[in-house]
Each structure stands twice: as C-alpha cells, then as structure tokens.
C-alpha cells in the first residue's frame, strides 16, 4: 500500500510538472505574440514617422517654391516697372532733345524761303503728327515756322547748328534780326533750310518709328509678363493647394502617429503586465519545481528504501526458505538420529542381554550346573 501511495504521488507530481510546463509554454507564446504586435506597431510608427518627415520635407519644398515664385513675380514686376520707367525716360529725353527753335535761320532775307518752308514744313509736320502723335505735330509746326529748324540727335547726344555756332544762329535768328541787312552774301556758309527740314523730318520719322517699335516691344514684353504672371499665379495657386493638402495629410499623419503611440503605450503596458505575470509564474514555477525536485528526491529515497526493503524481504524469504529447508533436514536428521538411537538402543539391549547371558555363562558354567 505504501508503494502504491508513493507511485500515485509520483504520478500526481509528474502531472503537475507537465501542467506547469504547458502553462509556461502558453505564457511564452502570449509574450511572443505581444512582442510581435509591439514590433508591428513600432514598424508602423517608424513608417508613419518617415511618411511624416517626407510630407514635412514636401511642405517645406512647396513653401520654398512658393517663396521662389513670389520672388520671381516680384522680380518680374520690378523689371516691368523698370522697363516702363526706362522707356518713359527715353521718350522724354528724345522729346526734350528735339528743339525746333535751335534750327531757326540767322537772316531775315530768307523770310520768303522760310514762308515756303513753313508751308512745306506745316504739311510735313501734319504728316508726322499723323504718324507720331501730338508731339510730332508740335515738332512739325515748329519746324514749319522756322523754315526748317535745327534738332538734336537724342541717340548720339550731339547738336546740329545752322552753319555757325548755336549761340550765333540763335542770336542772329532771334528777335532783333540784326543780320538781315547783310544780304545774300552772308548766307553762303549757312545750311539749306529745305534740306535741314527734310533731315529733321526724317529724324522725326525715325524717332516715331523707334517709339512705335519700343512701344510694340513694350506691349509684347507686357503681354509676356502678364502671361508669365498668370502662369506664376496659377502655379502659386497650385502650390498653395498642394501645401494645404500636404498640411491636411500631415495633420492626418500626426493623428495616426498619436494613435500609434497610444496603442504602443497600451501594448507596452500589456507587455509589462505579461512580463510581471511571467516573472511571477517563473518564481512560482521555480518554487514548484524545487518542491517537486525535493519531493522527487524524497520519493527516490523512499523508492530506494522500498527497493532495499524488498531486497531485504527477499533475502529474508530466501533465508527463511533456506532455514525451512535446513529445519526440514534437521528434522529428517533428528528422525534418522532417533531411528539410529532406537536401533542403537535395541542393539545395546541385545548386547546387554548377550552380555548378561555371557556373564551368567561365565559365572555359572554349564558343567557346574550339571
């Protein structure tokens, strides 16, 4: 019975050890699953962080592109304003350089020619006014009144005088008219007013053509600038939309990262709880294992003692069997001994009887009796 109880106790301890091992395996699997989930969350967080960083870089690049577009727009506007100012200054300089009073003839004897030149110049001035605008009309009228005045070349910056110096021609052709009595001989070195008028008219036409070309180029440039400005405004609007979309996506990514961080904290708490449970289980399993080992050692000692007792019992049984055999042999020997003793006693009795007979025969011989 004791052996059966010890066997049952050993089986019970073995079952407990198996159950503890299965619980340990399940706890290890649960911890591995939680760790895998934590790794997945960490991977997702890393991807979200990379996506957020990429989105921020995209937003920064879009902001920089927006700044560049705004700077380019400002530069185009400044360049356009500078071109407008430069064109205006050139036109003002060209108009200011044309002074028909400086080309007036220095003699009063050319009044008839001046009148003829006035008529022709007026007609030409009217034609230039039709070509070049109000300024040209004013210049043509002045040229006609002076009989072909002297003009200055705005592109070259040099002045054209009437034969003599500017001061002399302006003085002689001015208000007093002191050189009128000199006659035709004093006009030998002077410029032909018709040729001068034609030259000035050609110069005015060139200035008008240059003005029209500059105006056309300015219009083309303004059209290009307006188209470029519209393109830049469209690109700026698109960049603004992309920035808004990137900011909205960044907000979504930040919310997702916040959710992932919260989930990761929850997973970390779960891992901490599982780790604590696993540590407690390891402690209890270690204590149970130590108790099991102690009980197993005690059971092993008891089993050894039981085997020793069984061996002793077997030895005792063998000794008892041998003793029984020896007792049987001793009984047989006693029986044989008693039989021998009986035989010996019988023989002794016979010998005693024989001895008595012989003694009697010796004491009393047969002759004496007879």
- pLDDT given at position 1: 67
Q: What is the mean pLDDT of residues 332-354?
A: 83
Cα dihedral across residues 326, 329, 334, 335: positive or negative: positive
| pLDDT higher than threshold 70 for residue 122 | no
Determine which of 46-50, 107-111, 213-217, 365-369 has the lowest per-residue pLDDT on average: 107-111
**C-alpha count within 13 angstroms, C-beta hemisphere, residue 157:** 1
DSSP symbol at 157: -
Q: What is the mean pLDDT of residues 260-264?
A: 73
Q: What is the mean pLDDT of residues 322-335?
A: 84
DSSP symbol at 78: H
- pLDDT given at position 181: 39
How many H helices and E strands in the chain? 6, 0
What whole-number distance in Å separates Cα of residue 370 and Cα of residue 361?
13
Q: What is the mean pLDDT of residues 324-333?
A: 84
Which residues neighbour 184 within 8 Å (Cβ) at sequence distance 6 or greater? 109
Which token pair is 347? Answer: 């023989």
Higher per-residue pLDDT: 327 or 370:
327
Q: Is 159 helix (H, G, I), strand (E, B) or coil?
A: strand
- pLDDT given at position 100: 55
pLDDT band at residue 191, thresholds of 50, 70 and 90? low
- SS3 percent helix, strand, coil of the chain, rounded to 5, is 90, 0, 10
What whole-number distance in Å separates Cα of residue 147 and Cα of residue 118?
5
pLDDT band at residue 194, thresholds of 50, 70 and 90? low
pLDDT band at residue 163, thresholds of 50, 70 and 90? very low
Residue of 120, 117, 167, 170 whose CA lies nearest to 147: 117
- pLDDT given at position 101: 56
Across the strands, what pairs with 159? Answer: 152
Q: What is the mean pLDDT of residues 89-108?
A: 62
Which token pair is 302? Answer: 């008891």
Phi-psi category of 177—alpha, beta or left, where left has phi over 0 and alpha has psi -120 to 50? left
Which token pair is 242? Answer: 């992309």
Higher per-residue pLDDT: 81 or 124:
81
pLDDT band at residue 164, thresholds of 50, 70 and 90? very low
- pLDDT given at position 133: 39
Q: Do 127 and 202 touch, CB atoms closer than 8 A?
A: no
Q: What are 297-313's pLDDT values in tens digits?
A: 777 787 788 788 788 88
Q: What is the mean pLDDT of residues 100-111?
A: 46
pLDDT band at residue 99, thresholds of 50, 70 and 90? low
pLDDT band at residue 124, thresholds of 50, 70 and 90? very low
Q: Do 53 and 261 touch, CB atoms closer than 8 A?
A: no
Other C-beta atoms closer than 10 Å to the C-beta of 10 total 16
Other C-beta atoms closer than 10 Å to the C-beta of 267 total 18
| pLDDT higher than threshold 80 for residue 296 | no
- pLDDT given at position 365: 63
Higher per-residue pLDDT: 153 or 66:
66
- pLDDT given at position 43: 81
What whole-number distance in Å separates Cα of residue 130 and Cα of residue 86?
25
Q: What is the mean pLDDT of residues 45-66?
A: 77
* C-alpha distances in Å from residue 293, one per residue of 17, 22, 39, 41, 287: 10, 18, 38, 42, 10
| pLDDT higher than threshold 70 for residue 108 | no
Which residues neighbour 333 within 8 Å (Cβ) at sequence distance 6 or greater? none
Which token pair is 307? Answer: 């085997």
| pLDDT higher than threshold 60 for residue 158 | no
| DSSP annotation string for 304-336 | HHHHHHHHHHHHHHHHHHHHHHHHHHHHHHHHH
Higher per-residue pLDDT: 259 or 346:
346
């Amino acid at each position: 019975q004791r052996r059966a109880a010890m066997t049952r106790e050993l089986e019970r301890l073995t079952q407990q050890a198996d159950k503890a091992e299965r619980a340990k395996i399940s706890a290890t699997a649960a911890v591995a699953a939680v760790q895998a989930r934590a790794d997945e969350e960490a991977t997702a967080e890393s991807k979200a962080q990379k996506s957020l960083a990429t989105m921020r870089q995209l937003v920064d690049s879009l902001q920089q592109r927006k700044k560049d577009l705004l700077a380019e727009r400002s530069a185009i506007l400044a360049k356009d304003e500078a071109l407008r100012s430069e064109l205006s200054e050139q036109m003002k300089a060209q108009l200011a350089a044309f002074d028909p009073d400086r080309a007036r003839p220095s003699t009063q004897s050319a009044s008839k020619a001046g009148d003829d030149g006035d008529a022709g110049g007026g007609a030409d001035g009217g034609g230039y006014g039709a070509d070049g605008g109000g300024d040209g009309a004013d210049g043509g009228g002045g040229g006609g009144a002076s009989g072909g005045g002297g003009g200055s070349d705005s592109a070259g910056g040099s002045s054209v005088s009437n034969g003599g110096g500017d001061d002399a021609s302006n003085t002689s052709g001015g208000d007093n008219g002191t050189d009128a009595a000199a006659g035709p001989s004093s006009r030998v070195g002077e410029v032909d007013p018709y040729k001068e008028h034609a030259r000035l008219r050609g110069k005015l036409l060139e200035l008008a053509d240059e003005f029209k070309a500059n105006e056309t180029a300015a219009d083309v440039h303004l059209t290009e600038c307006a188209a470029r400005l519209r393109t830049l405004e469209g690109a700026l609007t698109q960049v603004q939309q992309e920035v808004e979309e990137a900011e909205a996506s960044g907000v979504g990514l930040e919310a997702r990262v916040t959710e992932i961080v919260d989930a990761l904290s929850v997973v970390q708490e779960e891992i901490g709880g599982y780790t604590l449970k696993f540590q407690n289980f390891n402690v209890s399993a270690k204590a149970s294992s130590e108790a099991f080992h102690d009980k197993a050692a005690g059971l092993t000692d008891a089993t050894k003692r039981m085997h020793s007792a069984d061996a002793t019992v077997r030895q005792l049984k063998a000794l008892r069997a041998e003793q029984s055999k020896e007792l049987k042999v001793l009984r047989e020997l006693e029986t044989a001994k008693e039989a021998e003793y009986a035989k010996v006693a019988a023989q002794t009795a016979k010998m005693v009887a024989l001895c008595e007979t012989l003694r009697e025969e010796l004491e009393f011989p047969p002759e004496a009796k007879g």
